[in-house]
Amino acid sequence: ECAGIVEDDWVPLFPTSSACCTTTIPWVDLQLCESNSDSSSTGTQKYYAVNPGGKCMKDCDPGSSSGPAECGRVTDLSTVLFDTISECCTLGQNWVDERFCTSRSVGTYSGGWFVDSGTNSKCVKDCASGVGDPLCANVDSPSSPIYETAEECCREKLSWVGLNRCVHASEGTTGEW
């Protein structure tokens, strides 16, 4: 992008944005620097951690249809970029449950199970609450562990309740306790 005429002879000029980026600000991700230096760029198409929120977004123009991830342009040049959502969640959001981060990064729910903090005696499903499924709830904290099944959640987090009692309460079924 043209910003005028350089009148000071001490200002270094570079043949490309890449040369400028690597010479003057080498600590900035090269693709991010090049992308932000080009007014026609639509972003790096890489992922970055969003806090608070516990998710990752794609560095692309908002509203563009470039996959399932939400788009937003990176403006902070100290932002770390990742090639995949998985890598971003594992390395950039290491305090967040990976299932939570991965699902929220693509605008969905994990479908896994977590401890119901309201009762602390059953597990509930991570899915859209209030849309007909009484087993669904919203995860209270992005760092709450999410498990594949109600049984696994009960066994790992609520062993004091009793496995059968916890599973039946979690799944909304009746059975022998």
The mean of the pLDDT values for the chain is 88
| Better-predicted residue by pLDDT, 150 or 4 | 150
Any residues with CB less than 8 A from the CB of 4 and at least 6 apart, and which?
none
The predicted pLDDT at position 81 comes to 96
Does position 6 have pLDDT exceeding 70, yes or no? yes
The predicted pLDDT at position 4 comes to 65
Q: Please check whether residue 114 is in contact with residue 100, taking contact to mean a CB–CB distance below 8 angstroms.
A: no
Q: Please check whether residue 57 is in contact with residue 106, taking contact to mean a CB–CB distance below 8 angstroms.
A: no
User: In this structure, what are the phi and psi dihedrals at residue 152, rounded to the nearest 5 degrees?
Assistant: -65, -45
Nearest to 85 by CA among 65, 99, 64: 99
Residues 169 and 20: their CA atoms lie apart, in Å, by 62
- Could you report the per-residue pLDDT of 116-155, keeping only the tens digit for each? 988 888 999 999 877 667 888 888 789 999 999 999 999 9
pTM summary value? 0.81
The predicted pLDDT at position 82 comes to 97
| Confidence class for position 3, pLDDT limits 50, 70, 90 | low
- Could you report the per-residue pLDDT of 41-70, keeping only the tens digit for each? 888 999 999 988 899 999 998 876 566 678
The predicted pLDDT at position 66 comes to 61
Q: Please check whether residue 82 is in contact with residue 73, taking contact to mean a CB–CB distance below 8 angstroms.
A: no
